[in-house]
Amino acid sequence: AAHHVYEATCTAPVNIAVVKYWGKRSTSLILPTNSSLSVTLSQDHLRSLTTARCMVDGQGTDRLWLNGEEEEIKAGGRTARCLEEMRAMRQEVEAKNASLPKLSSYPVHIASENNFPTAAGLASSASGLSALIATLSTLYDLPSNGVSTSSLSRIARQGSGSACRSMFGGYVAWEMGAREDGSDSVAVEVAPKEHWPDMHALILVVSDAKKGTPSTAGMQRTVATSALLQHRIEHVVPARMERMSAAIQARDFDAFAKETMADSNQFHAVCLDTEPPIFYMNDVSRAIIQLVTELNRVSLEKEGRLVAAYTYDAGPNAVLYVQEKDVKSVLEVVLRYFPQSTTSFPDPFQTQADPSTAL
Ligand code: PMV
């Protein structure tokens, strides 16, 4: 018999939400209580790289290595579920085309690594699960057999909610959907990266310690106890999704920045409204908010426009969205006020085509 090695390698970057996902209406399917919207960063700085191989001659089971260490694939766990769903999609393709190799019947070995410290609280699950689904879909040749990126995002979602948004580059919405089976809870492209290429994300690592309350436990507690979350879900997010999409379509940085900061603030207010309360930001995070607020106040006065938008996820690290023309001056001010900072690049002011600069 012909001897083939079936192998695929893909990368996926992290994404940083500007309208936050916080709350599940189904924990098993990972269905959110509100839609969300994010920017997928470039591959250069924060990404997962995953290789998957079909063991056509081997017996045994699926196996997984993360950053070189083997991890157990727990039966009924999220990774197992993703593998199951991907196999089912491959089986459908095989059923329609009998000449295709029956890859769905072989075990897979998967190795994944991040090019950034996994413990740094920088959304490694989004890039990791997204890279896993992208790699398996390539291995199984699904895109050329009519499987869309949105339907792949439906599976990535079941690995980690925010991972569904990293299946697309650029500006991406995760539509919460209405169906109980989650078939309409998928990521969709709002605009490609090229639509607004001079957007940069500056990542200010305030602490690289592992975060306190994991997102799954935190969301569960917020859904169970916060009245503010109910207000946010019903009366804030739907209109904000509309305004955010419109701001992106129009490349209106002021509107984008205003909505981004308001949404980060409300997400952390919702955490504070949780019983017992969840604190993700620390004193340095809050000092960065004050600095950005002051920068924007001065710029509004002088030039009638905003220069930076801060946003924080489930940890103290800041992400600043800044337009290319303002990256140098914003970084200068950050480094002046936080002089112990180091940048991860020899020349932080070197401008790049891709919208990501790590600090
Ligand atoms: O997908 P998870 O479980 O890592 O949750 C991510 C939640 C936030 O990062 C705080 C917000 C978001 O939309 O990414």
The CB of 326 under 6 Å from ligand 1? The reply is no
Report the pLDDT value the prediction gives residue 345, as an integer from 0 to 100: 44
The CB of 215 under 6 Å from ligand 1? The reply is yes
| pLDDT digits 0-9 by tens, 86-99 | 999 999 999 999 99
Pocket mutation for ligand 1, best pick of 19, 22, 174, 220 (most atoms within 8 Å of C-beta) = 22
Report the pLDDT value the prediction gives residue 348, as an integer from 0 to 100: 36
| % of the chain exceeding 70 in pLDDT | 92
The CB of 160 under 6 Å from ligand 1? The reply is yes
d(CA 235, CA 245): 17
A 10 A CB-CB count for 243 gives 16
d(CA 191, CA 251): 10
| DSSP reduced 3-state for 304 | coil
Q: The whole model's pTM is what?
A: 0.92
Phi, psi for 92 (deg, rounded to 5): -60, -45
Whether the predicted pLDDT of 2 surpasses 60: no
| pLDDT digits 0-9 by tens, 178-221 | 999 999 999 999 999 999 999 999 999 888 777 689 999 999 99
From the list 6, 10, 7, 37, the residue with the least C-alpha distance to 21 is 37
| pLDDT digits 0-9 by tens, 285-308 | 999 999 999 999 999 999 999 999
C-alpha 270 to ligand 1 mean position (Å): 14
Contact 221, 274 (CB under 8 A): yes
C-alpha 48 to ligand 1 mean position (Å): 17
d(CA 158, CA 249): 29
Report the pLDDT value the prediction gives residue 339, as an integer from 0 to 100: 80
60, two tokens: 């045994």
Report the pLDDT value the prediction gives residue 209, as an integer from 0 to 100: 76
Contact 198, 324 (CB under 8 A): yes
Contact 263, 18 (CB under 8 A): yes
